[in-house]
Amino acid sequence: MMNISQHDMTRATPVALQAIQQKPAISVVGLGYVGAVSCACLSDLGHSILGVDVDRMKLEQIARGVAPFHERNLDTMLAAGVESGLISTTDNLVQAVCDTDVTFLSVGTPTAKDGGCDYSYIEAAARSIGKGLARKTEFHVVVMRCSVPPGTTLGLMTPILEKISGKVAGKDFGICFNPEFLREGVAVDDFYTPPKTVVGTTDPKTANIMRQIYLPVDENVIQTSIETAEMVKYVDNIWHATKVSFANEVGRLCKSLGVDGHDVMDVFIQDTKLNLGPCYLKPGFAYGGSCLPKEVRAVAHIASNMGVDLPLIQSLDRSNKAHIEAAIEMVRRTGVKRVGVLGIAFKPGTDDLRESPILEVMAALTAEGIEIVAHDMAITSDTPISGQMGYVRHGSPGLQALAADLPDILQEDISDVLKKSDALIVTHANDTYRRAVARAGKRPVLDLVRISSVTQCAENYEGIGW
């Protein structure tokens, strides 16, 4: 092994030597932003770290305890790791795998010419890691930390490792996807107080090794599938970008109206139940009711009148309609001509039909000659809807189209819905409808609400977003 930073281990403190003996040695491949921070922080936790890169300048800087970029406290921590003998560097990835217990892969994944992900660095690193695995008899864990599309770790990297090493993932070596959530400028702080620690694995031994690595900074490691862990990284960043864009659009609109956007958002963020909490952040059906659709349109109208371009806010209605169309297409694919709908109010526990998105689905299917029957826990054929009709003319074409036929469409007994339908659409989650679905037999069940926390596995079941 060519070790640019060769330290005499007799210089290491007793505490450092004890840590080396007790904790897995980690090779960190790619000494860019994530890799360099990982080297510093993991060495501070007592791990022997071997930094790996093809860039000699980065290797030499890390070996001297110098950060290759500006990041608060990183120089100090790298210097401490080098001084203690816990950090060394090399350009020999094959040997680095042989000399460590865990390999963190943090190489670049730049945008490819077609706009997708360039996998060339991952593939090259995987080939070298595979050669290292072939030389080992001990169980070794390979941890992907790059931002990659779901399926990359198991579908691209793992086959290369297995082919070159001649070993089997999950049995002879471990595979993990461990996304990082480090913000530039406060990355060291984020390592020690992480917003969350996510570990995607396929075997319990790997999961336990990863939990032990992160135990000093997070006792509540989230263990999940590799694919989920891969997607979480993308979704987090998309959400952050969405928040930035949303706040900026609010600011532009407020400015045009002579309102202080910071004052508005200072009040907005104090609501940690609805605005900054988990509400509304689970895949399900389209939004509806008397407030959201109406007020999205109103704000878009105000912006248009003021000459303010709000692409995000103004696209919400289009996004909602696309989700409704997705539900319609789910029904079309079944080829059935009789459909039962369980839940027609815009949400459970109310008889409010105003802008209920399922009514748009029902109206479209009816127009295509599909027979509809429905049941709702809070609505019967006698429920007065005249008071809701004021919303019909400009806001709820589905309710307008179905209003006269609703008494005939609604069934008092769920058994009648089952008898008169060849497929079921479920929009409300309750035990009554779960029991009805259990009686559905082989007919298609189209779930728009996630009636169970456990994904259904039956061939006739399809969720709209899962």
Which are the catalytic amino acids? 291
Q: What is the DSSP letter of 420?
A: T
Q: Name the residue among 12, 92, 91 with its Cα closest to residue 48.
A: 12
Cα distance between residue 29 and residue 157, in whole Å:
14
Cα distance between residue 42 and residue 58, in whole Å:
18
Cα distance between residue 122 and residue 436, in whole Å:
48
**CB-CB contact of 407 with 370 (8 Å):** no
Q: Name the residue among 200, 255, 189 with its Cα closest to residue 230.
A: 200
**CB-CB contact of 341 with 374 (8 Å):** yes
Handedness of CA 307, 310, 314, 315 (dihedral sign): positive
**CB-CB contact of 103 with 141 (8 Å):** yes
Sheet holding 445-447, edge to edge: 371-375, 338-342, 423-426, 445-447, 461-463
3-class secondary structure, 408 = helix
Cα distance between residue 53 and residue 184, in whole Å:
21
